């Protein structure tokens, strides 16, 4: 017998689900809790299936019959109504979440489970601070290369060239993910390769002769500015990490007991392990009372939960006389550098190879460069970790000797 509203209202729950049939496979299921759900039982490709049509009384008897009739027409056309419902649901979700900001949040949330915490926080900060205010609510398919470039130019204008490049890389990831999930067909960030001001990736001013390195180390250890900046300069020489990775280092990624710093390398996007020498551990232990309450090992001197700024270390180098500014005859200010924060990497690569005699592949791994095995496959992050522990300790001991002695002593390297 077909259902009516009075019968439905009077129907009471039981210890097990109760089903009231209306005909053609349509029925109202009453759960023991009292909830009432419209369902349709049908067969497709020889298999019995069920499709939920909605909750009563939000979906009335008349509305349930209409949905039932529409679903039966779909079935007659040879389409599984249940599968069609799934596709429609995904389509609605896609339309609702088609903005750049929504897709970026979806991607960052997914990648946060795999990335180091510092990487996840940095990428989220760039999206929220530098990208979303301008394109966050824009449909992903409507963002053009010129529009994205205008956003990146804002970062360049404030001197954050490195951040602009990172933001382009993050935007590119968002567009690639959008293409993979069917929400976009083009990646405008890819079109901007070469459009931004170049970052200093080659020929950074550096000191590579041991006799030149000694005065630099003595200047760093005697630096009279901020204690936190002095510690950052010390660790820059000991760890020779990329300046951007060092200044955004987070306490959550540092394991003092294991003597390791784990993070995601910015250039390669791979997990990286930095063994810590005893000298590096001592510096970090000294920093704990000063910065451990926050997320960053080197917080911004301005506070507000941000990491140290991009130019802080180079500004300190300038104060120590390793970066000089001169006024030319044309009245323009020119900068001449004997050393930059990034120069510690070139210094370490040269001295570890030519003076201490360590294998180049150990050095490249420590620099977080992409190194491949004889078969062309990328080494994993633990490659040569034991040897690299010995290398960073030998490096730290060597720097101690340089700093303490006027005459440079050549140490015996490792095979």
The residue from 218, 369, 389, 401 that is catalytic is 369
Point out the catalytic residue in the list 49, 72, 111, 267: 267
Q: Between β-strands 18-23 and 271-275, what pairing exists: parallel, antiparallel or unpaired?
A: unpaired
Both tokens assigned to 177: 């993910």
Catalytic, out of 319, 379, 381, 389: 379
Beta strands in 219-266 (DSSP E): 254-255, 260-264
C-alpha distances out from residue 90 to 84, 85, 96, 182, Å: 10, 9, 10, 11
User: 182 — alpha (psi -120 to 50), left (phi > 0) or beta?
Assistant: left
With CA atoms as reference, report the closest residue to 392 among 256, 239, 252, 287.
239
Q: 342 catalytic, yes or no? A: yes
- Which residue shows structure tokens 């000298």? 279
What is 353-366 written as a DSSP string? HHTS---HHHHHHH
Of all helices (H) and strands (E), which one includes residue 378? none
Per the DSSP assignment, residues forming a β-bridge with 325 are 335
In b/e form, how buried is each residue of 383-409, taking b as 16+ CB within 10 angstroms? ebeebbbebbbbbbebbebbbeeeebe
Place of tokens 């690639």: 176
Q: Kind and range of the H or E element at 38?
A: strand 36-44
Cα separations in angstroms, 63 against 31, 60, 336: 20, 5, 78
Residues 263, 119: contact at Cβ < 8 Å?
yes
Q: Write down the catalytic residue from 345, 365, 388, 403.
A: 345
Pull the structure tokens for residue 37: 């759900």
Residue 267 bears catalytic tag: yes
379 is catalytic: yes
Active-site pick, 342, 349, 365, 384: 342
Looking at 181-226, list the stretches that DSSP marks H as alpha helix, in order from N- to C-terminal side.
Answer: 210-221
Alpha-helical runs (H) found in 277-342: 278-291, 312-319
Catalytic-labelled residue, pool 242, 247, 365, 384:
242
Number of H helices, E strands in the chain: 16, 9
Taking residue 372's Cβ as centre, other Cβ atoms within 10 Å add up to 10
Residues involved in catalysis: 242, 267, 342, 345, 369, 379
């Amino acid at each position: 017998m077909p259902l009516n509203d009075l019968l439905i209202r009077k129907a009471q729950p039981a210890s097990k689900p109760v089903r009231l049939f209306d005909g053609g496979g349509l029925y109202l299921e009453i759960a023991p809790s009292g909830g009432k759900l419209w369902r349709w039982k049908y067969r497709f490709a020889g298999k019995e299936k069920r499709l939920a049509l909605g909750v009563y009384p939000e979906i009335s008897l008349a509305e349930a019959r209409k949905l039932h009739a529409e679903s039966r027409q779909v079935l007659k056309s040879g389409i599984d109504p249940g599968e069609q419902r799934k596709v429609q649901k995904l389509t609605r979700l896609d339309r609702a979440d088609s903005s750049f900001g929504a897709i970026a949040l979806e991607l960052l949330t997914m990648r946060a489970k795999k990335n180091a915490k510092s990487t996840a926080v940095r990428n989220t900060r760039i999206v929220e601070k530098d990208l979303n205010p301008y394109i966050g609510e824009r449909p992903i398919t409507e963002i053009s290369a010129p529009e994205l470039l205008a956003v990146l130019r804002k970062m360049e204008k404030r001197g954050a060239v490195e951040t602009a490049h990172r933001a382009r890389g993050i935007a590119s990831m968002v567009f690639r993910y959008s293409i993979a999930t069917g929400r976009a067909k083009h990646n405008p960030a890819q079109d901007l390769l070469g459009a931004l001001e170049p970052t200093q990736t080659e020929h950074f001013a550096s000191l590579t002769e041991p006799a030149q390195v000694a005065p630099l180390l003595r200047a760093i250890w005697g630096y009279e500015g901020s204690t936190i900046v002095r510690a950052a300069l010390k660790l820059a020489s000991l760890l020779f990490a990329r300046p951007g990775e060092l200044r955004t280092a987070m306490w959550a990624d540092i394991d003092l007991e294991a003597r390791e710093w784990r993070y995601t390398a910015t250039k390669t996007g791979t997990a990286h392990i930095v063994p810590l020498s005893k000298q590096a551990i001592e510096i970090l232990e000294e920093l704990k009372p000063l910065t451990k309450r926050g997320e960053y090992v080197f917080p911004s001197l301005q506070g507000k939960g941000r990491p140290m700024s991009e130019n802080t270390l180079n500004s300190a180098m300038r104060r120590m006389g390793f970066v000089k500014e001169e006024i030319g005859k044309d009245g323009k200010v020119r900068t001449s550098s004997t050393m930059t924060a990034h120069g510690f990497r070139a210094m370490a690569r040269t001295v570890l190879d030519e003076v201490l005699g360590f294998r180049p592949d150990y050095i490249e791994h420590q620099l977080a460069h992409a190194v491949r095995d004889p078969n062309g496959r990328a080494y994993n992050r633990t490659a040569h970790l034991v040897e690299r522990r010995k290398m960073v300790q030998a490096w730290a001991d060597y720097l101690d000797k340089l700093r303490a002695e006027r005459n440079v002593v050549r140490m015996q390297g490792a095979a």
